[in-house]
Structure 1
């Protein structure tokens, strides 16, 4: 039987062993304990550490990074406002806090993010441990980096995390401020710098260089994806991504739908080893997958009608709505230019109540949408009230790495010959 899509049907009793066993633990103790009593989680974290130790290359379709896809440009990023907000934050902090917050612009800690509720890598500053005035300064940096719509979406992920903590009576593990914030480089209107925010169901990596920015990888999700009581009642996340994705799939001719459907079941016996795991489920581009090889699957958008291509671009823009106007226009143009090389693939059913996964993948973008089984809800099968989304910039430009490489080659010839920058630079 499919899981109910109504989260009210899936709540654990507040006195269930599942919840009671976590109630006296802070995020650090909980993260330690879960690796001890959950072998699959321990195995996944060990794999993450192995992946993190590998030099950055970038996600590819065949193991080979395609060159020449990205170029330095002025796209109208809100760099001045971002820089001013970041400097206000830095001036508020004492030396110890600034030391914890700041990393070199090419530090490997860009790649330390993860999206579960357990805190694997406590880098930077933990928002819930900061005074409210400092939290607001952090959020101002984020707000001035994102579009208004994107900021509301990110804030919505934080609110739904707090709502889940209320439903489970576990606010010490999941609340609105259960996130870590890192600052890379020195805030500047013309030099490279950026920030990272990560925690349960929200991970954003924002790189800026002059008038150009990259916000990628991103992870945005919610369990449940609606809030129906309290001060944020009426919030619903990822409804457009779900609806437009399903409409696009249904609009394809039968033969194209067949080719687009790579697996009919969300956990399909035909899936090879590694295609599904307990953490990412169907996602290919989640935490610590920076160098993953993800072959193209499904059907190419070159086969779509004009209406379907337009609908696909509309869907894509919903995923990158967090980019401010100028950078979003530039990113959409970059994606549209490669639309004939863009692949659409699907897992699951196409009925109104069927959970599903889809992926949009091209040389310059990889976007994933997935309905998940429960973690803090009781459904063992995927349900439409638990959603994860991932956006990646393949072929070496996650974290703005390819732009940083080009900047170094221009400003410091010979010092950074490849995609990966291994030398250290001052903040």
Structure 2
């Protein structure tokens, strides 16, 4: 397996808002705006959206601390910060998240601009939403963003606090609300409807995946996701591998990354029903690494949802288990992608294990909690409208 030979010599892409919007930059923004303004349907198969998968219900999850953290965060903002960092639930900026280091459609409040207390209040909302492991992984990826800034002598443009935080809705009212953290290699969307939580789309990545030097030397990322993916595929026999492998070469990018909210993707690969009990156990442990980024109670609810569709879950594979590879889980209620990427800030135009992207989606219309929000509106707001008409 070839390894990257060094950093690219070309100039680093701008991360702050550019002073001059060139035609090239405007074109890049224009297609993203167009994609984000398409009516939301959700990722689905060519057969269309499967309805009835996400009912409103009580989960029993204790959401008091995360609601309190959100209220304290808002209480600490100035009027100017409130105007810039708070949005209605139906604001299109939800769909403007993007992984790139370039400045495209950024919104909300930059963590770098907060004082320590303000930044801690923003991060408390995130921490109370995630598990300890999920929060630690997110922090490690932000630290690795500083690592690449150190290596490229560009900590102004790549650092651990160059992430935009936005809060949506009214947590104090008890109605739906959520938050978004958006920046290079960390893009997390989180929605609460009552005590239900949706934590997708979530895009996490890193380049490099190991900090060999610098402030956070020793930080590593995606070791479990990589190792368990490798373990699962190498457990397959020849016939199972033939069913799992869906292509000869790795895709240029993940299929359902940013601005692909309505992407059509067929089920491909080896169904979990075609695996032995031991292989299914490995597959579910691997899925758990993604699901368990959520806080413990919400992760258990989500895993129950995933296991209820175990018979409709497919595992797809591309690549060399001893080199670089791509894998995907796809069911009616979850879509996970993992891929070794070519270099962007490192000077290698071929995939390597030094650059990894992952994404988790909720297919069939519930990314951003959209299906739950639709049901909430139908249950509560239509009944209010009917009473007001009498």
Q: If the length of structure 2 is used for normalisation, what is the TM-score?
A: 0.93
Alignment counterpart, residue 288 of structure 1, candidates 259, 282, 285: 259
CA distance in 2 between counterparts of 1:404 and 1:63 reads 23
Does the 8 Å CA contact 2:335/2:361 hold for their aligned counterparts? yes
CA distance in 2 between counterparts of 1:228 and 1:83 reads 38
Offset of residue 43 of structure 1: 5.9
Instruction: Label 1:189 to 1:213 Cα distance change in 2 as closer, same or farther (>3 A).
Output: farther
CA distance in 2 between counterparts of 1:342 and 1:31 reads 47
Does the 8 Å CA contact 1:59/1:396 hold for their aligned counterparts? yes
CA distance in 2 between counterparts of 1:31 and 1:367 reads 37
Structure 1: tracts of 5 or more residues without a match? 267-275, 417-427
Cα shift readout 1:381-420 (whole Å, capped 9, x = no counterpart): 000010000000000110111111111111123799xxxx
Does the 8 Å CA contact 1:31/1:118 hold for their aligned counterparts? no
CA distance in 2 between counterparts of 1:414 and 1:250 reads 54
Residue 79 (1) aligns with residue 75 (2): no
CA distance in 2 between counterparts of 1:32 and 1:371 reads 32
Partner of 1:158: 142
Residue 397 (1) aligns with residue 381 (2): no
Instruction: Label 1:52 to 1:264 Cα distance change in 2 as closer, same or farther (>3 A).
Output: same
CA distance in 1 between counterparts of 2:32 and 2:314 reads 27
Partner of 1:421: none
Cα shift readout 1:199-251 (whole Å, capped 9, x = no counterpart): 00000000012221110000000000111234432221111110110111111
Offset of residue 32 of structure 1: 4.3
CA distance in 2 between counterparts of 1:303 and 1:88 reads 49
Residue 332 (1) aligns with residue 303 (2): yes
Instruction: Label 1:201 to 1:78 Cα distance change in 2 as closer, same or farther (>3 A).
Output: farther
Partner of 1:3: 2
Alignment counterpart, residue 119 of structure 1, candidates 91, 103, 116: 103
Aligned pairs, number: 385
Cα shift readout 1:155-210 (whole Å, capped 9, x = no counterpart): 11100001111111111211101111111101137321000011000000000122
Partner of 2:192: 208
Offset of residue 309 of structure 1: 0.9
Cα shift readout 1:133-152 (whole Å, capped 9, x = no counterpart): 21121111111111111100
- The RMSD of aligned alpha carbons is 2.0
Task: Give the 5 Å matches for 1:48-197.
Answer: 48-188=32-172, 190-197=174-181
Cα shift readout 1:21-44 (whole Å, capped 9, x = no counterpart): 65xx562128946x73xxxx8765
Partner of 1:272: none
Offset of residue 122 of structure 1: 2.1
CA distance in 1 between counterparts of 2:361 and 2:279 reads 22
CA distance in 1 between counterparts of 2:60 and 2:161 reads 30
Question: Secondary structure in 1 aligned to 2:344?
Answer: coil
Does the 8 Å CA contact 2:112/2:162 hold for their aligned counterparts? yes
Structure 2: tracts of 5 or more residues without a match? 386-390
Does the 8 Å CA contact 1:100/1:124 hold for their aligned counterparts? yes
Alignment counterpart, residue 360 of structure 1, candidates 307, 326, 329: 329
Does the 8 Å CA contact 2:147/2:215 hold for their aligned counterparts? no
Task: Give the 5 Å matches for 1:233-312.
Answer: 233-266=217-250, 276=251, 281-312=252-283
